[in-house]
Amino acid sequence: MAAGKSEDIALAVSTVIFALHAEAPQARPSLHLPLVRRIREPFAGRWALPGGPLLPQEGLSAAAARNLQQTTGLRPGYLEQLYAFGDPDRSPSAGRMVSVVYWALVHADAVTDTSSDDNVRWFAADDLPSLAFDHNLIVEYALWRLRNKMEYSRIAHAMLGETFTLSELRQVYEAVLRKPLDPANFRRQVEASGALVATDSVVTGGRHRPPRLYRYNDAVDMTDNGPLTDIPQHPPPHAADSADLPDPTDPTALNDPTDRSNL
Amino acid sequence: MAAGKSEDIALAVSTVIFALHAEAPQARPSLHLPLVRRIREPFAGRWALPGGPLLPQEGLSAAAARNLQQTTGLRPGYLEQLYAFGDPDRSPSAGRMVSVVYWALVHADAVTDTSSDDNVRWFAADDLPSLAFDHNLIVEYALWRLRNKMEYSRIAHAMLGETFTLSELRQVYEAVLRKPLDPANFRRQVEASGALVATDSVVTGGRHRPPRLYRYNDAVDMTDNGPLTDIPQHPPPHAADSADLPDPTDPTALNDPTDRSNL
DNA sequence: ACAAAAGTGTTTAGACTACACCCATGC
DNA sequence: GCATGGGTGTAGTCTAAACACTTTTGT
């Protein structure tokens, strides 16, 4: 591309990973996210978002998925680019740094799986310590984006298993949006959207009428990202690092090399 | 930040610039955007989005505003980060390149101002030639984002002057959304939003009732970008390169250095 | 029987659409 | 006067919120 060399501008990819977790067994679940303890200056000892440099032959979303895998051992249920941060002052006492940040949703059971590690810990999303760099602001923005997207998109199932009840799905919405939803109206809305398919099974064992299990309808595109078609949504069979296109669902993703060195 | 060096990954910033322009004097205006002719390989001779490398002490949005200034001679009426493109294959026969792309709105009269230049030309947004790199896809995505944002945000005034009639404002919406709007209902909607302030002046000279002039209400935040507060919206007095925070209005902008080299 | 959650039905308020209609100006 | 767009009024449609009510299980 013959664009000017990036001089001393380093490029990194970080990921904000959300999962639902209930502190007490029967308590309402809330949003949690994993942070990693920094071992170098600046901000040594502080908690920070998982991330690191981009590998030479790796796409941006692939790097984010790798962050996720290395931090939680999981594949993303949903993954979308959040923003590129490049303020000249964002990295004190270190060189200039531009970070492309992704956000992801994973299944709830991820939270306990990795809590044994001492350098990785899950925190409640609305009760974070003071993080390294501008990561507090990043998480705030990721939360804002998640809440917005939850209202007009159909990504909640990414925080659940293959099948789920409408109650479970509603709990995801309630936890993210932090407000109770009418079960009756919620049912009608998701049924009208066509995003779910009823299975034949029900869940017995509760001391009440057994709820039906639903499955996500893959025929429906849940993310309205326009012309973009990002990637490792669900387990994409073997398309390892096929695409780095931005997520076409929300106004944030699109893939294009905009090099222009003339002018 | 002690993150791995970016090896050979170059970083560039490009900008998709939109303005309204009517081919014929009395024809309906349509979206146009300026492109720049490449003078180097790859894609020498092809049209491409204005852009270039990021300067060492320059914020991302400042670089986008500089693109805009150098291409059109104007300051952005609205500027927002679009997406970061980093597919490994996006730059044939050149090194790895990651581009952070912005999109902008400018006043309509910009179109004719620069059409004399031979290396910069304005094109109708829905009738572009085959561009360099993946720039066709980028423009498609920028258009999709603009159209989405136009429906739930109040950015249309960025394509007009300081004062404007409701007809002019409606024409912006009609050109972007490509469908006619009911003048009566349009009026009620914008009046109910509180985004506009009526002035005392009217426009005489038309062969019909003189329409009232309106001004944008700065007290209302028109861009719902959450916790982000980007920047060079209107002429920000002298805040040259103050902020590089992502635009908090739409689900795309947030500023944060996500360096993480441990793990 | 009773509690509790699943699931259905109904009423109402607000938002948006369509379109009829009046107003003010230039010619 | 009449054409043209500015501006107001109003009835019909659609959606979503609120909430009463019925169903089905476990204990």
Q: What is the mean pLDDT of residues A251-255?
A: 31
- Per-residue pLDDT band for B25 (boundaries 50, 70, 90) equals confident
Q: CB-CB: which of A48, A83, A258 is closest to B255? A: A83
Is the distance from CB of B125 to CB of B89 less than 8 angstroms? no
Closest residue of chain A to B150, computed from CA coordinates: A251
Please name the residue that has the structure tokens 């326009």: A226
* B32 CA → C22 C1’, Å: 38
Query: Chain B contacts of A38, Cβ < 8 Å?
Result: 260, 262
Residue recorded with tokens 């062969």: B207
A141 pLDDT above the threshold of 80: yes
pLDDT value of residue B113? 58
List the single residue in B with minimal CA-CA distance to A1. Answer: B94
Domains and CATH numbers, chain A: 10-153+225-255 (3.90.79.10), 161-222 (1.10.10.10)
Handedness of CA B2, A260, B48, B77 (dihedral sign): positive
- Model pLDDT, residue A116: 62
Both tokens assigned to B161? 């002057």
pLDDT digits (tens, 9 = 90+) for B218-227: 887 767 788 8
Indicate the residue of A4, A9, A135 with minimum beta-carbon distance to B256: A135
CA pair distance A171, A61, nearest whole angstrom: 28
Q: Is the CB of B166 under 7 A from strand D?
A: yes
Query: Which residue's CA is nearest to the C1' of nucleotide D4?
Result: B208
CA distance A210 to chain B (A): 38
**SS3 of chain A: helix, strand, coil, percent, to 5:** 25, 25, 55
Segment B28-33 mean pLDDT: 94
Of B119, B255, B263, the CB nearest to A85: B255
Best-predicted range by mean pLDDT (A117-131, A233-247, B126-140):
B126-140
Beta strands in chain B (DSSP E): 10-21, 30-37, 47-48, 51-53, 78-85, 97-105, 120-124, 163-164, 196-202, 212-216
Counted residue by residue, chain B has a size of 263
* Per-residue pLDDT at A28: 87
User: Are A1 and B13 within 8 A, CB to CB?
Assistant: no
Section A131-140 average pLDDT: 97
Nucleotides of D under 7 A from a protein CB: 3-10, 16-20, 23-27
Beta carbon of B193 within 7 Å of strand D?
no
Give chain B positions within 8 Å (CB) of A98: 11, 54, 60, 100, 257
CA–C1' gap, A174 and C15, in angstroms:
25
Phi-psi region of B226 (alpha: psi -120 to 50; beta: other; left: phi over 0): left
Nucleotide nearest to B186 (CA to C1'): C16
Alpha helices in A17-119 (DSSP H): 60-72, 110-113
Mean pLDDT score, A68-90: 94
For CA atoms A14, A253, B77, B68, the dihedral sign is positive
Measured from Cα to the C1' atom, the residue closest to D16 is A185
Which residues 35-54 in chain B show a CB within 8 A of chain A?
36-42, 48-54
Interface contact flag, A141 B254, Cβ < 8 Å: yes
Task: Over range B111-138, report the average pLDDT.
Answer: 87
Among the ranges given (A38-47, A179-188, B112-121), the one the predictor scored with the smallest mean pLDDT: B112-121
Distance from the Cα of B201 to chain A's closest Cα (Å) equals: 37
Residues whose CB falls within 8 Å of the CB of residue A117, separated by 6 or more in sequence, listed in order: none
CA–C1' gap, B252 and C17, in angstroms: 32
* Test mutation, B143, B153, B245, B254, chain A, max A CBs within 10 A: B254
| Strand C contact with A238 (CB < 7 A) | no
Strand-pair partners of A244: none
Give the whole-angstrom CA distance, residue A158 versus residue B78: 34
* A70 vs B: CB within 8 A: yes
Residue ranges of A 122-141 with Cβ closer than 8 A to chain B = 133-135, 137-138, 140-141
Smallest Cβ distance to B53: which of A14, A100, A261?
A: A261
Q: Which residues of B touch A36 (CB under 8 A)?
A: 260, 262-263
Interchain contact B57–A (C-beta under 8 A): yes
Are the Cβ atoms of A257 and B100 closer than 8 angstroms? no
Do B131 and B47 meet the contact criterion of CB atoms below 8 Å apart?
yes
Residue A259: per-residue pLDDT: 28
Q: What is the pLDDT of residue A8?
A: 80
Res. B232: pLDDT tops 50: no
Q: For residue A168, what are its two tokens?
A: 């479970």
* CA dist A71 → A111, A112, A135, B260 (Å): 11, 13, 17, 12
Residue B26 pLDDT greater than 70, yes or no:
yes
Mean pLDDT of the B23-27 span: 78
- Mean pLDDT value of segment A118-140: 95
Q: Which nucleotide is nearest to A187 (CA to C1')?
A: C7
The whole-chain average pLDDT of chain B stands at 83
Give chain A positions within 8 Å (CB) of B54.
Answer: 6, 9, 86, 98
Instruction: State the DSSP H helix or E strand holding residue B60, giving kind and residue range, or none if neither.
Output: helix B60-72
Distance A207 CA to D26 C1' (A): 4
* Closest CB to B3 among A12, A86, A244: A12
Cβ separation A137–B5 shorter than 8 A: no
Q: Output the pLDDT for position B221.
A: 75
Rg (CA), chain A: 20
Torsion of CA B23, B24, B25, B26, to 10 degrees: -110
